[in-house]
Amino acid sequence: MTEAFLKYFRTKEQEVKSEKKYESQCPYCSMQCKMQLIEQSIVTRKKYITIGKENPTSEGRLCIKGMNAHQHAFHKDRLKYPLLKVNGEFVRVSWETALNKIKENFTKIQAESGLNALAVYGSASITNEEAYLLGKFARVALKTKYIDYNGRLCMSAAASAASQTFGLDRGFTNSLAEIPSARCIILAGTNIAECQPTIMPYFERAKENGAYIIAIDPRETATTKIADLHLKPKPGTDAVLANGILKVIIEENYVDKDFIQERVNGFEEVREYVLSLNLEEIEEITGVPIELIRKAAVRFGKEETGMIFTARGVEQHTNGSMTVRNLLNILLSTGKIGKPGCGYGAITGQGNGQGAREHGQKADQLPGYRSIENEEHREYVASVWGINKDDLPHKGVSAYEMIEKIHEGEIQGLFLMCSNPIVSNPNAHFVKEAIKKLKFFVAVDLFVSETARLADLILPASSYLEDEGTMTNIEGRVTLREASYPCPGEVKHDWQIICEIARVLGKEKYFSFSSAEEIFSELRMASRGGNADYFGMTYERLRKEGGILWPCPAPDHGGTKRVFETSFAHSDGKAAMVVVPNIPEVPKEQLSEEFPLYLTTGRVMSHYLTGVQTRKSPALAARNVEPFMEIHPATALKFQIQDQSLVKIESRRGSVVVRSKWSETIRHDTIFVPFHWADSQNINLLVSKELDPVCKMPGFKVSVVKVSPVKDFLN
Ligand code: SF4
């Protein structure tokens, strides 16, 4: 072939024959960036391009994950049919066979061992409609009290702290548009530059306007680089650091006395406690020099406006909820909430981390952020569902505690929707053993995930391009995710799967929905009058208005851009401050000669959660093909670990082998490993099962470990 012919062929090969466009939202983080997929038919194949679409939250931006999200949706390994395990192998079966298997096994388990022998494990990546329906499915179709979801491992500390402090948990108390008007911003344990990259321009604009940014993180990250001041506390000491900041704020008279007087309970007790503390001791515990604690406090205290953001770095601890409460103590004592440029944001990780925790997937919750233990709330939701309130189960237990109940044999059957618990939970060996004990296990997923491998039956789920529904983003803005791409093979929408199972279980009359919009209409009613009130929203409004921030209690209500302007949501209208003990997180294990290092875990930009989707995307997988261990060179030399060499990390629960990465930006006593990989590379094999007693968040961020070089790996 001549050069000229090849050139002609290549030009022809790229010629676009036809083009189709599909609207959607990114399936990954809580920015929920609006996007459009362009599908081009060229001579030999289809070509896909994803572009950002203008909207009030991401303003048309996309990060690398969003731009390549279609790669997993079109991956050859997508599940397209139900798969039943027969003699240890998955075989394709019809939906009818699959549904009958569920009916037969669920009915048998409940007949033999009681209603609560079945459990439901949900997800914060599904739509509001599906989260709502899953909660209703557990309580009405299965009549089990055991339902919880993977958001427990992500947002529960921030959610419980906000509920206890303000009486209401909306991830961000303001709209993102207000960030540039904050004069001082504290970013506590959040790496937004890698986890929610399209939010960064809001902070960059704040900086251009003269804002002073304080980062709290034991590591230097792409986010801490934008900070004017970086505090690097020892892992697990953030609550103590907050006490130090609070003490200086009070001593230096930066307290907003009028605000405290009118709108806050508990200040005096906090004041008395923190004044009794000693900054030298706080420096000793946290490792943060007094002058830096003072600098942060004075700057936050003296600026007219300010915001505090938290994320998993300070939340995923066994004292995570109290740590967040102490950071909220700082916000309240300076009166920086409920007014322009002032507020609190919990940087939600999962796509629908906000909406999925509002409508009934949590163990103790009914739709609209109602409580399953409150008689009035039970009465109201039961009336919407057309059942007797006494038929509603009471509260169950958290995600990890459900795993323990499986181990103990109390739970014998599991319905798992779009989650990968054997990778995402702590103490991962134990979790796997528990799942293997189930008598019947149904997993709904896009792929045969590490957990789905253990299922008796896998049902194929629809992707973000195919599944229409609402999501509630990082701001508390409810958005309509358009999705019109046809489902591949025999894939069904998650809500259809739930309705069909309910039908074979004889509960069709409660689940006779024919579209996501119909489910949303019922959700609106069920949430009406609750804290998270969606009643005033419709698909038409969401489309027209580019999303609405809740609460939106009436069709003529414009949504709530800023909460707590005049009162908080506790019955007396006041916020609640609380004394937070000046002790670091007390993990069962302490640093010792045997385990001399702290292990902390987190994310990298190119992956999402347990990596089931992003590891299928060649463009994303290529950026980080394997996990790594970030270690300070001085520490590495002490343990004879070369840069880029294989290293074994061990805790009392297990070991993994990963590649080392020297970094001068991490503390000498701490190593960091990302958590997006599974099987022998799953770092959660090492993490302890200890839970925060308030919110049941596992203490992912602090484990004690030892490291050693793997010398003979290739010999
Ligand atoms: Fe936007 Fe988050 Fe998706 Fe990136 S991962 S495109 S920031 S939604």
Tell me what pLDDT residue 18 has.
86
Q: By the 8 A CB rule, do 272 and 150 touch?
A: no
**pLDDT the model gives residue 715:** 43
Strands 264-265 and 365-366: unpaired
For ligand 1, the distance from its centroid to the CA atom of residue 185, given in whole angstroms, is 22
Q: How far is the CA of 53 from the centre of ligand 1 (A)?
A: 12
State in Å, rounded, how far the first CA of the chain is from the last one. Answer: 47
Half-sphere exposure of 200 (CA within 13 A, CB side): 17
* Order of all β-strands in the sheet with 548-549: 469-472, 477-481, 548-549
The string over 461-477, giving b where at least 16 C-beta atoms fall within 10 Å of a residue's C-beta and e elsewhere, is bbbbbbbbbbbbbbbbb
- What CA–CA distance (Å, rounded) separates 283 from 292? 10
Among 25, 33, 176, residue to substitute to test ligand 1 (most atoms within 8 Å of Cβ): 33
Longest dimension (CA), the chain: 86
Q: How far is the CA of 302 from the centre of ligand 1 (A)?
A: 34
- In the numeric block, the tokens 């060649």 are attached to 618
CB atoms within 10 A of CB 253: 9
The pTM of this model reads: 0.94
Q: Which of 190, 192, 196 to mutate to test the pocket of ligand 1 (most atoms within 8 A of CB)?
A: 196
- Is 365:371 a contact under the CB 8 Å cutoff? yes
Looking at residue 607, its pLDDT comes to 85
Using CB distances shorter than 6 Å, the residues near ligand 1 are 26, 28-29, 31-33, 58, 62-63, 65-66, 196-198
The closest residue, in CA terms, to atom 4 on ligand 1 is 63
User: Mean pLDDT in each 10-residue stretch from start to end of the chain (715 residues)?
Assistant: 68 79 95 96 87 96 94 95 97 98 98 98 96 98 96 88 96 96 97 93 97 94 95 93 98 98 98 98 97 98 98 91 97 98 93 91 95 97 97 96 97 96 88 97 96 97 97 97 96 98 98 98 98 98 97 97 97 98 80 93 84 87 90 96 96 94 92 89 89 88 93 56
Omega within 30 of 0 (cis) for the link into 197: no
Query: DSSP character for 409?
Result: T
Mutate to test the pocket of ligand 1, among 36, 57, 191, 198 (most ligand atoms within 8 A of CB): 198
pLDDT at res. 10: 67
The helix (H) or strand (E) run that includes residue 163 is helix 156-166
556 vs 535: CA distance, rounded Å: 10
Measured in Å, residue 26 CA sits from the centre of ligand 1 at 6
Give me the residues paired with residue 229 across strands: 214
Alpha-helical runs (H) found in 505-593 = 516-527, 539-545
What is the b/e burial string over 628-637, where b = at least 16 CB atoms within 10 angstroms of the residue's CB?
A: bbbbbeebbe
SS3 letters across 231-245: ECCCCCCHHHHHHHH
CA of 174 to the centre of ligand 1 (A): 20
558 three-state secondary structure? coil
Residue 18, exposed/middle/buried by CB under 10 A (0-12, 13-18, 19+)?
exposed
Name 215's bridge partners. 187, 230
Of the candidates 251, 233, 264, 309, the one whose C-alpha atom is nearest the C-alpha of residue 570 is 264
Q: In the sheet where 457-460 sits, what is the strand order?
A: 89-92, 83-86, 457-460, 440-445, 413-417, 118-122, 147-149
Question: CA gyration radius for the chain?
Answer: 25
Question: Which of the 8 DSSP states describes residue 487?
Answer: P
Query: Which residue has the least CA distance to atom 1 on ligand 1?
Result: 33
pLDDT at 589: 72
Distance CA 658, CA 660 (A): 7
Three-state DSSP at 364 gives coil
Mutating to test ligand 1, I would choose from 32, 65, 203, 607 the residue with most ligand atoms within 8 A of its C-beta, which is 65
pLDDT of residue 6: 66
Integer Cα distance of 619 and 613 in angstroms: 12
Residues 289-292: contacts with CB under 8 Å, at least 24 apart: 290/244, 292/229, 292/231
Q: In what helix (H) or strand (E) does residue 504 lie, and over which residues does it extend?
A: helix 494-504
Residue 675: how many CB atoms within 10 A of its CB?
22
Which amino acid residue places its CA nearest to atom 8 of ligand 1? 32
CB atoms within 10 A of CB 639: 16
**Structure tokens belonging to residue 26:** 């990114």
Residue type, 425: N
Residue of 375, 613, 475, 539 whose CA lies nearest to 170: 475
**DSSP per position, 632-648:** -HHHHHHTT--TT-EEE
Using the structure block, give the residue that is written with the tokens 């990298």: 604
Which token pair is 472? 């509630």
CA 71 / ligand 1 centre spacing (Å): 15
Whole-angstrom distance, CA of residue 229 vs CA of residue 215: 6
Ligand 1 atom nearest 69 alpha carbon: 3
Identify whether the C-beta of residue 442 lies closer than 8 Å to the C-beta of residue 414.
yes
25 C-alpha to ligand 1 centroid (Å): 9
Residues 425 and 698 sit within 8 Å (Cβ to Cβ): yes
Residue 390: per-residue pLDDT: 96
- Ramachandran category for residue 485: left, alpha or beta (phi over 0 → left; psi -120 to 50 → alpha): beta
